[in-house]
Amino acid sequence: MSDGLIYVIFFHILGAVIWIGGMIAVRFAVHPALQHIDEDMTRLARTLEITGRLFGLVFPFIVILIATGLYLAHTFGFSGHTKLSKIVHLKEAIWLVMTLNYAGMVYVRFKAQSYYLASNFLMAKKFLTPIAKYMLPLNIFLGMLAIYFGLVLRGF
Ligand code: HEM
């Protein structure tokens, strides 16, 4: 394997670690701790800040994942209609669903922030709730599937 390829694989794995690891840390470590803040205004402010920082942090790695993934698939010749090329397409589809879900989270967070700034805390909470309840868990699950299929492509 050429030296350069090692860096491409390194950044592919780094993207997976930061995107999925970041979501797991926020959903299962930060989110439960935030619920101990009783005052709505403070809890919502911290939730908006944390989700804003998480989404900003992971964005470049989402781009890095698809760029390095396509490069690796091309370099290893996973094209045509082989079993491995189907797995590459599956990973592309997983990445696309995860990215659309990410964009959805950015949107509902933006709506929540607008309501928060207008002091409508009830609506802000309403928009933030699906992020923790459905959207982050969905992306964590899909991310784990993508890691699994990555190992299948690698041939273990
Ligand atoms: C949700 C996004 C993704 C995650 C979390 C992810 C994760 C991973 C992981 C952990 C590996 C194992 C690396 C190794 O052991 O060498 C891997 C390998 C691989 N991934 Fe992804 N991946 C993602 C998206 C993609 C996409 C979109 C593509 C293709 C367009 C792709 C193509 C590949 C290829 C070709 C390999 C094999 C590399 C090798 O043989 O070393 N990945 N991926």
Task: Supply the range of the domain harboring residue 83.
Answer: 3-154
Tokens coding 70: 């396509």
Cβ(10)–Cβ(126) below 8 Å? no
pTM for the structure as a whole: 0.94
Total domains in the chain come to 1
Q: Residue 129: left if φ>0, alpha if ψ -120 to 50, beta else—which one? A: alpha
Q: Give the closest residue (by CA) to ligand 1 atom 33.
A: 69
Distance 28 CA to ligand 1 centre (A): 25
State which of 91, 100, 139 you would mutate to test the pocket of ligand 1, scoring each by most atoms of that ligand within 8 A of its C-beta.
Answer: 91
**Model confidence over 108-151: pLDDT tens digits?**
999 999 999 999 999 999 999 999 999 999 999 999 999 999 99
Residue 3 is predicted with a pLDDT of 76
Mean pLDDT of all residues in 69-95: 90
pLDDT, tens digit, 9 for 90 and up, residues 31-66: 999 999 999 999 999 999 999 999 999 999 999 999
